[in-house]
Amino acid sequence: MKVAIYPGSFDPITNGHLDIITRSSKIVDRLIIAVSKNNKKKTLFEINERVEMIKEVIKNENISNVEVDTFEGLLMAYANKKKANIVIRGLRAVSDFEYEFQMTGMNYKLNPKIETIFLMSLDKYQLISSKLIKEINALKGDVSQFVPKIVENKLIKKN
Ligand code: ADP
């Protein structure tokens, strides 16, 4: 059975993330979206808010093999605990490459039984990042084309 983890901050979930979720859900048996509790990263949304938004968003999609969880500490330790054999990551243009390359290499050294699979972002999602969306929203810009409606509403409430 192919159990995959899609880890990230998801602060908040975007249409780019959602695309990776729907596409990867078709190639694995079970997909666990793992929201990172990393306290070193200052997030706009609390962990529970991020989880709830993802749950709401995936409820509207026709995907039954996807669940949402949180994790802290080493991703490889979490993957072991969940008996996962795959980590899913999304790749945008070249900007993600260096970081992902290093992370994947180190993760492989920590646990060679777990493969990291990269899905290339579709061109319409290439430029979407949670970070930029938060900046645009804070400046009262319209983010409706980048995030699901539920997320847009939550972002507006943060202003
Ligand atoms: P992290 O803090 O781990 O970078 P993110 O929530 O920013 O968490 O991203 C989680 C994963 O989703 C990463 O693999 C990232 O490259 C990918 N991702 C983020 N935005 C997009 C996008 N627009 N298209 C495809 N993949 C994306």
Regarding the beta carbon of 9 and ligand 1, being less than 6 Å apart is answered: yes
Assess whether 130 carries a catalytic annotation.
yes
**Residue reference for tokens 């084309």:** 145
Assess whether 92 carries a catalytic annotation.
yes
Average pLDDT of the segment spanning 83-105: 92
What is the DSSP secondary-structure string of 129-149?
-HHHHHHHHHTT---TTTS-H
Domain that holds residue 127: 3-158
Average pLDDT of the segment spanning 148-154: 98
Assess whether 17 carries a catalytic annotation.
yes
Q: What is the pLDDT of residues 98-128, one digit of tens each?
A: 999 999 999 999 999 999 999 999 999 999 9
Assess whether 25 carries a catalytic annotation.
no
* Mean pLDDT rounded to a whole number for the chain: 95
Torsion angle defined by CA atoms of residues 104, 109, 114 and 116, in that order, rounded to the nearest 10 degrees: 10
Regarding the beta carbon of 24 and ligand 1, being less than 6 Å apart is answered: no
CA of 35 to the centre of ligand 1 (A): 11
- From the candidates 9, 24, 121, 130, give the one annotated as an active-site residue: 130
CA of 112 to the centre of ligand 1 (A): 23
pLDDT on residue 39? 75
Which residue owns the Cα nearest ligand 1 atom 8?
8
pLDDT on residue 60? 87
- 113 within 8 A of 79, measured Cβ to Cβ: no
Q: What is the pLDDT of residues 28-81, one digit of tens each?
A: 999 999 999 987 889 999 999 999 999 999 998 889 999 999 999 999 999 999
146-147-151 Cα angle (round to 5): 150
**Residue 6 pLDDT > 90, yes or no?**
yes
**Residue 96 pLDDT > 90, yes or no?**
no
Domain count, the chain: 1
CATH number of the domain bearing residue 70: 3.40.50.620
Tell me the C-alpha distance between 90 and 86, whole Å. Answer: 13
Regarding the beta carbon of 50 and ligand 1, being less than 6 Å apart is answered: no
